[in-house]
């Protein structure tokens, strides 16, 4: 396979490119927004700085590298930012996805994998799980833009006969996650003895999966997934945000008094929980990293790589300011 990965300078994309490069020709196209890390691309075999909204450029790349498979991971990915700047989410996650699908259709790309999220299903109460056929009911502008991208992807499959698959994963954690997201943000704060901001009552629940387990699942779907199918990905590792904060403080031997309750996020989804039976049953995927050891090694990584996330945080902010 000759694979085009979009967003391969981001958190999940960079792990994915590393994994796929061991077996395939991989081209990473990334716009290098505040979330993209130029250093991630230094060791990648084929990196092209580009915007998925640039259809001509996407077609040139697909043709030049004889791309037969696209794994589309580029996105605006942070819910809080989508509440403040929703339009860029529509540009990238909705229109960008469609432009990429157009390029794929025109160049007769065989397989298109849309990397999506469990957030498209909306919010659960105390009970229940998200299944692949659960109603699409997004609440944040981020989730709505990803849901739109998913629907357009399925429409291209049905209308133009393209082979399309969608993965919907729960919250990821691991090395190189931008420190705007919960786990790296709390680790960073704790390392500096600063208050850990917990939205609302801290009892919102997320279902956590290590980024490497996610990437192995995406790879499997790309290789063996069935045309037109959606695959949920998760490992039933539900935690309240408060539990995450407490574990981080305990691991770093910091006082629990650093926890600070702050105003709640607008439209804050209460609970996400994934049923991933389908990908386990049909493709034989299994998560390999349990939350306890995964979180421990992630905390260790952030402790050892302060330079990376501090630089990333300030550079990201600077790039935003310049824009
Ligand atoms: P990220 O924000 O860390 O990285 C996104 C990457 O996309 C960045 O490198 C950025 O430069 C690039 N990008 C943004 N706009 C672009 C454009 N117009 N053209 C080209 N490149 C562009 O995101 P992430 O956390 O790695 O998420 C990757 C994908 O996985 C997203 O589609 C996201 O919706 C999905 N996802 C993420 C999680 C999670 O917990 N992080 C969970 C499930 C699904
Ligand atoms: P986040 O990492 O932004 O992922 P998502 O919103 O996509 O699930 O947030 C995870 C959870 O943590 C969510 O319930 C919001 C909460 N949260 C905080 O309590 N404090 C924070 O500083 C952040 C960034 C998130």
Interval between CA 76 and ligand 1 midpoint (Å): 6
Which atom of ligand 1 sits closest to the CA of residue 167?
Answer: 44
Interval between CA 294 and ligand 2 midpoint (Å): 18
| CA distances from residue 27 to 53, 162, 271 in whole angstroms, order as listed | 17, 21, 36
Contact 12, 115 (CB under 8 A): yes
What 8-state DSSP symbol labels residue 228?
Answer: T
Contact 96, 74 (CB under 8 A): yes
Digit-by-digit pLDDT tens for the chain (323 residues) are 999 999 999 999 999 999 999 999 999 999 999 999 999 999 999 999 999 999 999 999 999 999 999 999 999 999 999 999 999 999 999 999 999 999 999 999 999 999 999 999 999 999 999 999 999 999 999 999 999 999 999 999 999 999 999 999 999 999 999 999 999 999 999 999 999 999 999 999 999 999 999 999 999 999 999 999 999 999 999 999 999 999 999 999 999 999 999 999 999 999 999 999 999 999 999 999 999 999 999 999 999 999 998 887 767 666 665 54
Among residues 119, 149, 136, which one has the least CA distance to residue 52?
A: 149
Q: DSSP string covering 56-89, please?
A: HHHHHHHHHTT--EEEE------HHHHHH-HHHH
Which atom of ligand 1 sits closest to the CA of residue 169?
Answer: 43
118 is catalytic: yes
| Best of 5, 6, 11 for a ligand 1 pocket test (most atoms within 8 Å of beta carbon) | 11
| Best of 73, 272, 298 for a ligand 1 pocket test (most atoms within 8 Å of beta carbon) | 73
Side-by-side strand order, sheet with 171-173: 171-173, 205-210, 238-240
Pick the catalytic residue from 51, 119, 150, 212.
119
Q: 120: which residues sit within 8 A by CB, 6+ positions away?
A: 136, 137, 138, 143, 146, 147, 150, 168
- Which two three-digit tokens encode residue 136? 């699409």
Interval between CA 202 and ligand 2 midpoint (Å): 10
60 is catalytic: no
Q: Which ligand is nearest to the CA of 174?
A: 1
Residue boundaries of the structural domains of the chain: 2-174+209-235+266-290
Which pLDDT does position 311 carry in this prediction? 84
Residue whose CA is closest, atom 10 of ligand 1?
36
Quickly tell me which residue has 């990821």 as its tokens.
Answer: 172
- Which two three-digit tokens encode residue 298? 């992630």
- Look up the pTM and report it: 0.97
Q: Which ligand is nearest to the CA of 138?
A: 2
Q: 259: which residues sit within 8 A by CB, 6+ positions away?
A: 195, 196, 198, 202, 242, 245, 246, 249
- Which two three-digit tokens encode residue 254? 């910091």
- Which two three-digit tokens encode residue 236? 């039933």
Which pLDDT does position 319 carry in this prediction? 60
Which pLDDT does position 290 carry in this prediction? 96
Overall CATH class of domain 2-174+209-235+266-290: alpha beta
Quickly tell me which residue has 């006969």 as its tokens.
Answer: 161
Q: Is the CB of 95 under 6 A from ligand 2?
A: no
Pick the catalytic residue from 34, 121, 142, 173.
142
Which atom of ligand 2 sits closest to the CA of residue 205?
Answer: 14
201 is catalytic: no
């Amino acid at each position: 396979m000759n694979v085009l990965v979009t967003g391969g300078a981001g958190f999940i994309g960079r792990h994915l490119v590393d994994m796929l490069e061991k077996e395939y020709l991989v081209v990473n196209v990334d716009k290098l927004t505040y979330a993209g890390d130029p250093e991630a691309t230094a060791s990648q075999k084929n990196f092209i700085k580009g915007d998925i909204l640039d259809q001509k450029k996407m077609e040139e790349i697909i043709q030049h590298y004889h791309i037969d498979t696209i794994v589309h991971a580029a996105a605006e990915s942070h819910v809080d930012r989508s509440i403040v700047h929703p339009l860029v989410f529509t540009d990238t996650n909705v229109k960008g996805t469609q432009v990429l699908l157009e390029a794929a259709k025109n160049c007769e790309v065989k397989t298109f994998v849309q990397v999506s999220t469990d957030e498209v299903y909306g919010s659960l109460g105390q009970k229940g799980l998200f299944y692949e056929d659960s109603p699409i009911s997004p609440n944040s502008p981020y989730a709505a833009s990803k849901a739109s991208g998913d629907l357009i992807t399925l429409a291209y499959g049905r209308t133009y006969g393209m082979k399309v698959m969608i993965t919907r994963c729960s919250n990821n954690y691991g090395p190189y996650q931008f420190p705007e997201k919960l786990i790296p943000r709390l680790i960073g704060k704790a390392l500096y003895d600063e208050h850990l901001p917990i939205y609302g009552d801290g009892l919102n629940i997320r279902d956590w999966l290590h980024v490497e387990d996610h990437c192995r699942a995406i790879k499997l779907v790309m290789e063996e997934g069935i045309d037109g199918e959606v695959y949920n990905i998760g490992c039933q590792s539900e935690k309240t945000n408060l539990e995450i904060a407490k574990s981080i403080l305990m691991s770093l031997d910091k006082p629990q008094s650093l926890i600070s309750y702050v105003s709640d996020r607008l439209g804050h989804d209460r609970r996400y929980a994934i049923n991933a039976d389908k990908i386990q049953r049909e493709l034989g995927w299994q998560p390999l990293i349990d939350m306890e050891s995964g979180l421990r090694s992630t905390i260790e990584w952030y402790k050892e790589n302060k330079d990376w996330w501090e630089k990333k945080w300030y550079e990201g902010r600077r790039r935003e300011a310049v824009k």
